[in-house]
Amino acid sequence: MNTVNQFIDVSYHREKEGFEERKKVAKSIMDKELYEQFYPSEKFVYGDSYTSIPNDVQLYVQQYDGGQEEVEVTAEFTNHLVIKDENVDDQTHDIIKVSLRKEESKWVVYSIEELKTEIMK
C-alpha cells in the first residue's frame, strides 16, 4: 500500500518544484518500462505554470494472503490540475488499477490501467 501511495505521488503529482526527488523515488518503485513512460525526459517538461496534485487517495487491495509475488491495487483519488498560462483549474476524479510484483523483497509497480477519469464540476 505504501508503494502505491508513493507511485501516485510520483506519477500524478506534477510540478517543477520537487521534480528531481519524485523522479528518484519513481526509479526505485517502478520497473524500467513504466519509469520511462512517466519520466521520458531528464527535465520537467510542463513549465512553471503547470501543477497537478492528487488528493483524497483511497486504496483497495485485491485479496492478499502474504504469499503472492504479484498483487493488484485499485486507487481512487481526486487530482487538482492547474495550468496558469491557459486558465485551467480542474478537479478530476480518477480510478486506476496498479499492478505490482515482488522484486528482491520490495514491491515494484510494473503496470497501470486507467479505469476512469472524469472532470468534477
Instruction: Return the minimum-mean-pLDDT range out of 11-20, 50-59, 61-70.
Output: 61-70
> Which residues contact residue 49 at a Cβ distance below 8 angstroms, ignoring those fewer than 6 apart?
82, 83, 84, 85
Which pLDDT band holds residue 64 (cuts at 50, 70, 90)? confident
Give the pLDDT confidence of 6-20 residue by residue, as tens digits: 999 999 999 999 999
pLDDT at 121: 67
| Helices and strands in the chain: count of H runs, count of E runs | 3, 4
* Percent of residues, the chain, with pLDDT higher than 70: 99
Alpha helices in 30-99 (DSSP H): 32-38
